[in-house]
A and B are shown apart, each in its own frame.
Chain A
Amino acid sequence: MNADSPAEKEYNTLNLGPTHPATHGIFQNVLKMDGEVIVSSEPTIGYIHRAFEKLAERRPFYQVTPITDRLNYCSSPINNMGWHMTVEKLIGAKLPKRVEYLRVIVMELARISDHIVCNAVIGVDSGALTGFVYMFQEREKIYEIYEEICGARLTTNIGRIGGFERDFTAQAWGKLEKFLAEFPRVLKEFENLLNRNRIFMDRTIGTGPITAENALNYSFTGPNLRAAGVDYDVRVMTPYSSYEDFDFVIPVGTSGDTFDRYMVRQEEMWQSISIIKQAIEKLGKLDDQTSFHADVPEFYLPPKEDVYNTMEGLIWHFKIVMGETDVPKGEVYHCVEGGNGELGFYLVSDGGRTPYRLAFRRPCFIYYQAYAEMIKGSMLSDAILTMSSMNVIAGELDA
């Protein structure tokens, strides 16, 4: 037998560049490939770094809300409400149950909307474009519900510190009921296209797996961690906004591969539908049927009739938006279960108009570190699927 060592392998360098149809968002991976197999990869991020944390130090609390919109822009309401809850924790505000249930409805709609994007795009990346077109139609319905509540589609800037700017109108309830009646059928249709599809299963099972201990060491949270087998959900561990009153299941996977991540998100959408229905039922049983905000005049913008017709309303509005009201000193950390996991806000206030330091705990940034390890040894197309199943949103990655 010839005992010569094999010739030195020459690896191909492939730039999965910042602009690429399959990278959803702009981040770069320089891959070293041995034919079709990836030997190593070098990620570069920061192509959309917009300096949120520095911006937040310059803006009073209400002006920070539009920035939080643009973190995970597929589910903006969750970010907005997480931020408002952080400030409410700082000022010690207590919200009426009705407001908390209304918030739950909006947050679960946002979660459905985020998972629609992720799952539809996993379909597109494996070649199945039909599911995308069907599911995006449902997102339009969610956008219409947002528009009834706050006026905007995508970057919602929804709510106030203490609740909502206005009560849900009859049209909003009507659209919500219609959505709850029609969405399950479309979701089932989408499932029929992909869940037991031979090709989809072959593409996704075993692709980009991660073990539970590795995922915990990388501080994974959200559906990616749950797909690996750990049932950590902020809504259950550290309940906020009355989530402890709701009865829902946390879907958990086994091997942390792409198929598990896809299935966990599918099941979470079903659970979200159930939570919204429970919330509507609970709202019907409350004694209080009218309040939509807490009583925090120093932080809650006055209603527009007062702003336009009374002097006090106008002055309060101006003071609050420009941050001229008294803010307590302190530091607070609040986290919510975003579409991608634990979205945390660490707010340090020194009593001034603007936060002294606001650090965002962004789940995408933290779990994307593991990507290089997850795709080592897999083929290029599988690496693409792994990336889309991790649901990396560039806004949250770079902030």
Chain B
Amino acid sequence: MVQLNAQEVADRLQAKFGNKIRHVEEPHGFLTITVAREAVKDIIQWLYDEPTLEFRFLTNCNGMHFPDGTEKFGMVYHLHSLTNNFRLRLKTFTNEDPPVFPSLTPIFKAANWMERETYDFFGFKFTGHPDLRRILNMDNLEGWPLRKEFPLEDPFRKDKDDAMFGR
């Protein structure tokens, strides 16, 4: 087990990928690196293969929507190197609509359903995904539920009295 520290990981990434690394920070002690979208798959593949880093466990990946931000749609990947016991968060953003990200399914089989869930919630497209379709919501649902503009409550209800709910 190699004792990794955040500075070292960040330095090695910068050395290898240069200007594809957009931003490095450590909120609450968790190394968080924002990278360019076109390089995210290569970066994750390199982190997977590199002998002393070995980020071979994909903890989670989920989407983000910032309607008021400069870059509206983001993906967040949480990686874990079990051999070194080090966690890393990678973020990548885009402004395209529908947003397109590379699929991680060739590297991690776990990414299959995680990306389907992100597609279901946000409408992100993942190039190279074997079976991108809705997973949790009904197939005929229109719209992307977790985007900020989608309403939480069922818009077709007729029995709720708006006056009682303060609307």
A189 CA to B105 CA, complexed, in Å: 45
Residues in A whose Cβ lies below 8 Å from that of B89:
333
Residues in B whose Cβ lies below 8 Å from that of A348:
64
For the complex, is B15 an interface residue (Cβ under 8 Å from A)?
no
Most interface-central of B32, B85, B112, B136 (chain A CB within 10 A): B136
Assess whether B57 is in contact with A332, with CB atoms less than 8 Å apart. no
A46 CA to B87 CA, complexed, in Å: 30
Residues in B whose Cβ lies below 8 Å from that of A335:
59
A377-399 contact mask (Cβ, 8 Å, vs B): 1 or 0: 00000000000000000000011
For the complex, is A58 an interface residue (Cβ under 8 Å from B)?
yes
Residues in A whose Cβ lies below 8 Å from that of B138:
46
Assess whether B27 is in contact with A330, with CB atoms less than 8 Å apart. yes
Shortest distance in angstroms between B50's beta carbon and chain A's nearest beta carbon? Answer: 17
A interface secondary structure, majority: mixed
Q: Report if A49-B136 is in contact (Cβ < 8 Å); known contacts: A330-B27, A333-B30.
A: yes
Q: Report if A219-B57 is in contact (Cβ < 8 Å); known contacts: A45-B136, A46-B135, A46-B136.
A: yes
A281 CA to B59 CA, complexed, in Å: 35
B interface secondary structure, majority: mixed
Interface residues of B in 20-56 (CB under 8 A from A): 27-28, 30, 32, 56
- B interface, size bucket: 35 or more
Chain A residue at minimal CB-CB distance from B107:
A217
Most interface-central of A344, A348, A369 (chain B CB within 10 A): A369
Q: Report if A90-B28 is in contact (Cβ < 8 Å); known contacts: A51-B145, A342-B59.
A: yes
- A interface, size bucket: 35 or more
Chain A residue at minimal CB-CB distance from B113:
A369
Residues in A whose Cβ lies below 8 Å from that of B129:
none
Assess whether A333 is in contact with B78, with CB atoms less than 8 Å apart. yes
For the complex, is A53 an interface residue (Cβ under 8 Å from B)?
yes
A335 CA to B108 CA, complexed, in Å: 20
Residues in B whose Cβ lies below 8 Å from that of A346:
60, 62, 76, 78
A53 CA to B150 CA, complexed, in Å: 13
Assess whether B135 is in contact with A58, with CB atoms less than 8 Å apart. no
Residues in A whose Cβ lies below 8 Å from that of B135:
45-46
Interface residues of A in 125-152 (CB under 8 A from B): none
For the complex, is B10 an interface residue (Cβ under 8 Å from A)?
no
Q: Report if A344-B59 is in contact (Cβ < 8 Å); known contacts: A46-B137, A232-B82.
A: yes
Assess whether B109 is in contact with A54, with CB atoms less than 8 Å apart. no
A348 CA to B62 CA, complexed, in Å: 12
Chain A residue at minimal CB-CB distance from B25:
A331
For the complex, is B90 an interface residue (Cβ under 8 Å from A)?
no
For the complex, is A180 an interface residue (Cβ under 8 Å from B)?
no
For the complex, is B2 an interface residue (Cβ under 8 Å from A)?
no
Chain B residue at minimal CB-CB distance from A46:
B136
A344 CA to B62 CA, complexed, in Å: 12
Q: Which of A70-78, A196-204, A357-365 contacts B (4 or more CB under 8 A)?
A: A357-365
Q: Can you name 20 A-B residue pairings with CB atoms under 8 Å?
A: A45-B135, A45-B136, A46-B134, A46-B135, A54-B146, A54-B150, A216-B57, A217-B109, A218-B109, A219-B110, A330-B27, A331-B32, A333-B87, A348-B64, A357-B65, A369-B109, A369-B112, A369-B113, A370-B109, A398-B136
Using a CB–CB cutoff of 8 Å, the interface residues on chain A facing chain B are: 45-46, 49, 51, 53-55, 57-58, 89-90, 214, 216-219, 230, 232, 237-238, 330-333, 335, 342, 344, 346, 348, 357, 359, 361, 365-366, 368-370, 398-399
Using a CB–CB cutoff of 8 Å, the interface residues on chain B facing chain A are: 27-28, 30, 32, 56-60, 62, 64-65, 76, 78, 82, 85, 87, 89, 108-110, 112-114, 117, 121, 134-138, 145-146, 150, 152
Beyond A238-B85, A331-B32, 19 additional contacts (C-beta under 8 Å) are A49-B136, A49-B137, A216-B56, A230-B82, A237-B82, A237-B85, A331-B27, A332-B27, A333-B78, A333-B87, A344-B60, A344-B78, A346-B60, A348-B64, A357-B65, A359-B60, A361-B59, A361-B60, A398-B136
